[in-house]
Structure 1
Amino acid sequence: MTQRVELAALIDRLAIDTLITDYAGSVDDGDWDAYRQLFTPEGRADYRSAGGIEGSATEVSAWLAETMRMFAMRQHFIVNRRLRFGVREQDVGDTARVRADYLNPMRFAGEPDAEPATAPDFTCGGRYEFTALRTHGGWRLRQVVVREKWRSTQAAGQTWDQAVVGQRTPPLTEPG
């Protein structure tokens, strides 16, 4: 590989990484216009494993806009990104697949007059499978598939470890 090719591949990797980060940010911020702009015109998303829908980016963004209202706080952590450039008929590196793990703590929206809480009470994790396509406007998502592996909810007054384990776990060291 020449330095020019290596530089082009690095630039593509950074652009795709930014695309994935922008995906997380648009969902967390509830910016559904930005969400739709991340996709190709024929782009689709599949949230069925998380209890959602599968459809066009427009259909899914409308569903997300409604569904995400129940969460006052959302924050995606998308990690362990594995990127592979595609090889299809006459493909010159214009497609890419990304598999990445996610952790998504969220906070249910409380009563309108209630004191706002900041700790998450709903957390889920799993894996994303992104398919990206190089377009004249840069890299865009052709497909997003969510594969939720687990979720945890926390009742009012319950600590995180109680929600996860079902009972209070002993501290690592005894006090005093």
Structure 2
Amino acid sequence: MTQRAELATVLDRLTVDELITEYAGAVDDGDWTAYRRLFTAEGRADYRSAGGIEGDAAQVAGWLAESLALFDMRQHLIVNRRVRFGLLDHDTGDTARVRADYLNPMRFTSDGGPAAPDLVCGGRYDFGLLRTREGWRLSEVVVHEKWRRLPERSPADLRD
């Protein structure tokens, strides 16, 4: 690879990483307009392993908006990102795959005071990306939830 190609790959890697971070921020902030803008026109997301739906970005954004309204605190931590670019004749291509683990603590809507998360889940994301005229966009997001911890029940809850 030439230095120019290596620099292009580094720049693509940084841009792809930023897109994944923007994805987490859009979900955590409930910015569904920004969420939809991260996808290609045909982009799809699959949240079925986490009890959700599979569909185009607009459908999934609507489902997320409704489902996550229960939580006033959301924090998607997306870590251990493995980025692989498609190859065309030994040059960096216009596709990428990202596999990344996630940890997601959330707190149910409350009085607004600080409190520990009520629900914590973790798993892995598989992202498919495509370079478009507007830059890198998500063509596919698949959630593989591996575990979930729900609120612990107090002894008083068990008596009822």
The TM-score normalised by the length of structure 2 is 0.91
- Over the matched positions of the two proteins, sequence identity in percent amounts to 66
Q: Which runs of 5+ in 1 are unaligned?
A: 159-176
Instruction: Tell whether 2:95 aligns with 1:98.
Output: no
Which one of 119, 123, 133 corresponds to residue 122 of structure 1? 119
Question: Which amino acid in structure 2 is aligned with residue 153 of structure 1?
Answer: L
Contact 1:73 1:118 in 2 (8 A): no
Normalized per residue, which structure has more strand?
2
Instruction: Tell whether 2:139 aligns with 1:142.
Output: yes
Tell me how far apart the structure 2 counterparts of residues 2 and 140 of structure 1 sit (CA, whole Å). 26
- Cα displacement string for residues 26-57 of structure 1 (whole angstroms, at most 9, x for unaligned residues): 00000000000000000000000000000000
Change in Cα spacing, 1:115 to 1:62, as seen in structure 2 (3 Å) is: closer
Tell me how far apart the structure 1 counterparts of residues 131 and 73 of structure 2 sit (CA, whole Å). 32
Change in Cα spacing, 1:3 to 1:115, as seen in structure 2 (3 Å) is: closer
CA RMSD of aligned residues (A): 2.0
The TM-score normalised by the length of structure 1 is 0.83
SS of the residue 1:8 aligns to: helix
Q: Name the structure 2 match of 1:153.
A: 150
Aligned residues: 155
- Cα displacement string for residues 131-156 of structure 1 (whole angstroms, at most 9, x for unaligned residues): 00000100000000000000001236
Q: Name the structure 2 match of 1:162.
A: none
How far off its partner does 1:123 sit? 0.1
How far off its partner does 1:130 sit? 0.1
Q: Name the structure 1 match of 2:19.
A: 19
